[in-house]
Every structure is written in structure tokens, then in C-alpha cells.
């Protein structure tokens, strides 16, 4: 399992100009000296490489940074995009659009079960608070280029018609799958930048295990998450809820025939 401290190293990738496979770096789409374009370069071997190196050498650091920044999408532009008609969920990751993988049956069942548990508890014990499915999260760190969407969130701030992001979340929940684990852990440090967030819960969909991060009284986050394994209890102090892992996994193949109930 990737530790919370270890995941901070992922922030070192911010602004390194990487692009998903199949996309060309912005400088490779520019026309080179003497009319050499990227398409031409594929025919002329190392000629393009030499042109590109010389062009970069002539560019100041400020010019290169400005060009890189212009190539990234902002949150404002991202939120203005229409959907693609598939119902898939997209996030903005350091200025690049990232599609979330389709959830497995176990993943979806855990998400739904957690939503029910949290919703029932909030209705009975925290009037004025609410559970939000797929909340929009705009972190404090690199806010211009990041918009992340966890599975669930809890906020005690009223909903408003003119706001896309979920305001002042106190609890954020993610469900881990083998195909999304690295991407999901990369969201965690950004969630932690929001001053309202008190706890971040990650529940695994491939084994009975959860990881919980809780902000300390001094405002700092722990070095490592608390691991909760089979037979354990998730204690969410942000909303005053205790729930067994068996209850969370009740509707999945991981349940093992055990049944327990949330303790409020």
C-alpha cells in the first residue's frame, strides 16, 4: 500500500510537461526553423531534433514556462466543457483531462453502501449536513489547474445554485480499485490542502481493508494513514460515526457471510 508520505513525491511531477501517450508536447506541434514541421521531421530523421534543441536554447526560461502554462487547461475552461454523452466522470489533473475508469461491481456496491450508511447517520444525527455523491473538489494547491472528484463527500454548508464545486467538505471518501489506486492516492495530498477537510477515508474494493487519514488538533496530517483490516471498525470523528468493515462490505463477494451494523 502506498503511504501518505510516499504519495507526496507524486507532486514532483507537477508542471513537468508530461502528456498522455498519443499527444505531442506543445513544442512538437510548432513549426520549426526553415519551415520544418513535426510531420516533416519524421521523414528527415535527426534534423528536427537539432532544430528543436536550437529553438529551445534560444527561448528564455520565462518563455518556456509561459508556453507550458498556456498549453494547460484551466478549471474554468474544464467546467465549461460539455459532457461526452457516455456518462463517464472526468477530472482535471494539473491541466490535463483524466477519465476515471469504469467501476467494477464490487467498487460500485461499496460506494453505494457507504452512501447509505453515511446518509442514514447524517439524517439522524447531523441536521444541516449532507452527503454528496461525486463531489467536485477544487484544492488550494495549484487550484487553477486541478479539479478532482472523489466518490463521496460530507459537507455542512448549504447547497447553492451557482456553485459547481462542493463547498467546505469535512469528510471525503474514495474507493480503491486495482486500476485506479495510483490515481486515487495522487488526489489525497490535494484533498488535504482544503482547511475544512478533517478526514479522508479510502476503502479497498479488492480486499477487506480501509485507510483513514485524520487531521490532528494542531491542524497537521499524520505521517501515515491508519490501516483498518477485517474485523475492524471505521471511526469517523468528523461526523461522529462508527461502522464495522463487515457492514461496508456486506453486499460484496468479500463479505464472507458476516453481517454487522453501523454504530452511531
Digit-coded pLDDT (tens) for 8-41: 444 444 334 343 333 333 333 333 333 333 333 3
pLDDT confidence of residue 62: 55
Reading the block at residue 209, the C-alpha cell is 481493508
Where is 169: in which H helix or E strand?
strand 169-176
Cβ pair 193, 137 in contact under 8 A? no
CB distance 204 to 134 below 8 Å: no
Q: Are residues 152 and 33 in the same domain?
A: no
pLDDT of residue 82: 86
- Provide the pLDDT confidence category of residue 61 given band limits of 50, 70 and 90: low
Q: What is the dihedral of CA 256, 257, 260, 262, to 10 degrees?
A: 60
Alpha-carbon span 57 to 24, nearest angstrom: 20
Whether residues 135 and 46 share a domain: the answer is no
pLDDT value for 12: 43
Portion of the chain with pLDDT greater than 70, in percent: 70
Nearest-CA neighbor of 95 among 72, 69, 70, 76? 72
What is the tens place of the pLDDT at every residue in 181-218? 999 999 999 999 999 999 999 999 999 999 999 999 99
Question: Average pLDDT in the 77-100 region?
Answer: 89
Long-range residue pairs from 239-245, CB within 8 A, at least 24 positions apart, any chain: 239/118, 239/121, 239/122, 239/125, 239/126, 239/129, 239/154, 239/170, 239/171, 240/121, 240/125, 240/126, 240/264, 241/117, 241/118, 241/121, 241/125, 243/117, 245/208, 245/209, 245/210
Domain of residue 229, CATH code: 3.90.1570.10
* Arithmetic mean of pLDDT, 156-167: 94
Q: By the 8 A CB rule, do 168 and 155 touch?
A: yes
pLDDT at 198: 98
pLDDT of residue 69: 59
| Residue bearing the bigger pLDDT, 73 or 82 | 73
- Identify whether 254 is part of a domain: no
- Please determine, for residue 145, whether its predicted confidence score (pLDDT) is greater than 50: yes
Residue 3 lies in a domain: no
127 and 241 housed in the same domain:
yes
For 168-196, give one letter per residue: b (16+ CB within 10 A) or e.
ebbbbbbbbbeebbebbbbbbbbbbebee
Q: What is the pLDDT of residue 147?
A: 95
pLDDT at 56 over 70: no
Phi, psi of 97 (to 5 degrees): -80, 130
Least confident of 35-44, 53-62, 119-128, 136-145: 35-44
Dihedral angle of Cα 230, 235, 241, 245, to the nearest 10 degrees: -10
Domain assignment present for 5: no
- Assess whether 191 and 117 both reside in one domain: yes
Instruction: Quote the pTM value.
Output: 0.72
Q: Are residues 43 and 162 in the same domain?
A: no
Domain boundary among 50, 71, 92: 71
Handedness of CA 73, 79, 80, 84 (dihedral sign): positive
Which structural domain, as residue segments, surrounds residue 221? 105-248
Question: 217 and 135 in one domain?
Answer: yes
CA distance 17 to 169: 31
Longest dimension (CA), the chain: 72
Q: Is residue 67 part of a domain?
A: yes
Binned at pLDDT 50, 70 and 90, residue 129 comes out as very high
Mean pLDDT confidence for 131-160: 95
Looking at the structure, tell me whether residues 21 and 114 fall in a common domain.
no
Same domain, 224 and 119: yes
What local confidence, expressed as pLDDT, does residue 87 receive? 81
Let me know whether 36 and 114 are in one domain.
no
Average pLDDT over residues 111-127: 97
Across the chain, what does the average pLDDT equal? 79
* Residues 57 and 110 both lie in one domain: no
Domain count, the chain: 2
Q: Say which range, 60-74, 141-155, 165-179, has the weakest mean pLDDT.
A: 60-74
Any domain includes 220: yes
**pLDDT tops 70 at residue 122:** yes
Amino acid at each position: 500500500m502506498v503511504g501518505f508520505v510516499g504519495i507526496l513525491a507524486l507532486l514532483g511531477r507537477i508542471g513537468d510537461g508530461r502528456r498522455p501517450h498519443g499527444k505531442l508536447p506543445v513544442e512538437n506541434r510548432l513549426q520549426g526553423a526553415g519551415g520544418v514541421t513535426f510531420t516533416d521531421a519524421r521523414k528527415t530523421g535527426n534534423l528536427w531534433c537539432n532544430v528543436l534543441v536550437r529553438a529551445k536554447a534560444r527561448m528564455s526560461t520565462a518563455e518556456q514556462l509561459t508556453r507550458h502554462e498556456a498549453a494547460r487547461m484551466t478549471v474554468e475552461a474544464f467546467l465549461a466543457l460539455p459532457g461526452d454523452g457516455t456518462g463517464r466522470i472526468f477530472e482535471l489533473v494539473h491541466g490535463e483531462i483524466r477519465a476515471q475508469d469504469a467501476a467494477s461491481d464490487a467498487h460500485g456496491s461499496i460506494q453505494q453502501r457507504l452512501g447509505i450508511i453515511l446518509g442514514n447517520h447524517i439524517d439522524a444525527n447531523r441536521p444541516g449536513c449532507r452527503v454528496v455523491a461525486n463531489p467536485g473538489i477544487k484544492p488550494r494547491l495549484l487550484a487553477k489547474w486541478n479539479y478532482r472528484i472523489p466518490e463521496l463527500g460530507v459537507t455542512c454548508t448549504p447547497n447553492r445554485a451557482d456553485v459547481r464545486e462542493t463547498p467546505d467538505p469535512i469528510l471525503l471518501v474514495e474507493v480503491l480499485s486495482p486500476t485506479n489506486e495510483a490515481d486515487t492516492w495522487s488526489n489525497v495530498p490535494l484533498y488535504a490542502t482544503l482547511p475544512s477537510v478533517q478526514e479522508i477515508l479510502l476503502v479497498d474494493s479488492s480486499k477487506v481493508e480501509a485507510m483513514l487519514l485524520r487531521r490532528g488538533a494542531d491542524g497537521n496530517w499524520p505521517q501515515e494513514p491508519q490501516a483498518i483490516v477485517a474485523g475492524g471498525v471505521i471511526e469517523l470523528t468528523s461526523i461522529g460515526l462508527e461502522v464495522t468493515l463487515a457492514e461496508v462490505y456486506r453486499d460484496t463477494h468479500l463479505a464472507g457471510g458476516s453481517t454487522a451494523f453501523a454504530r452511531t
